Amino acid sequence: MEKKVVSFDVEIKQLDELSSEERQLIDKAMESTRASYSPYSSFAVGAALQLANGKIFIGANQENAAFPSGLCAERTAIFAAQVNYPEVPIKMIAIAGRNKNGFLPTPISPCGGCRQVMIEVEHRYENHPVKIILYGTKGIYVINSAKDLMPLSFIAERLYE
């Protein structure tokens, strides 16, 4: 039997330790939680991403009474960016979540579906890593690549091995 250890580094920062670009994305992600349509969960998620060309796109979760018909904040932002600038890679994405008590102390991380979409985005743009910034009031997680969140990811090449 072979055993493999899969690990990655997460930087935990405070707002004053972020670059101005990172802080701007956090602010936009927090702001975009107001565009969330979350009447069932009362859990609003906002995302803001910056493309390599500097353009910024936002997204917010959109729920639906038929639960599978909703969409996460991360994917709304990613798909909007790819439709408008299909040739430009994503540089980084910030994600913030709040409930009826306000923004969460511990950052939330993307669901598995969003992680898979981020993996595909990195692969689509020739393995251009997407920095992920997860906002929490008690600390901000900074992750260098979607591959770090999903190390045993599914990519197209695996279909043809």
The number of beta carbons lying within 10 Å of the beta carbon of residue 110 is: 24
Q: How far is CA 16 from the centre of its chain?
A: 21
Active-site choice (11, 31, 63, 74): 74
Beta carbons within 8 Å of 124's beta carbon, 6+ residues apart = 89
Q: Please, are residues 130 and 150 in contact by the beta-carbon 8 Å criterion? A: no
| Cα–Cα distance for residue pair 116/101, rounded to 1 Å | 30
| Cα–Cα distance for residue pair 155/32, rounded to 1 Å | 30
| Cα–Cα distance for residue pair 30/98, rounded to 1 Å | 8
Q: Is 122 considered catalytic here? A: no
Helix, coil or strand: residue 62: strand
Q: What is the dihedral of CA 26, 27, 31, 36, to 10 degrees?
A: 0
Active site residues: 74
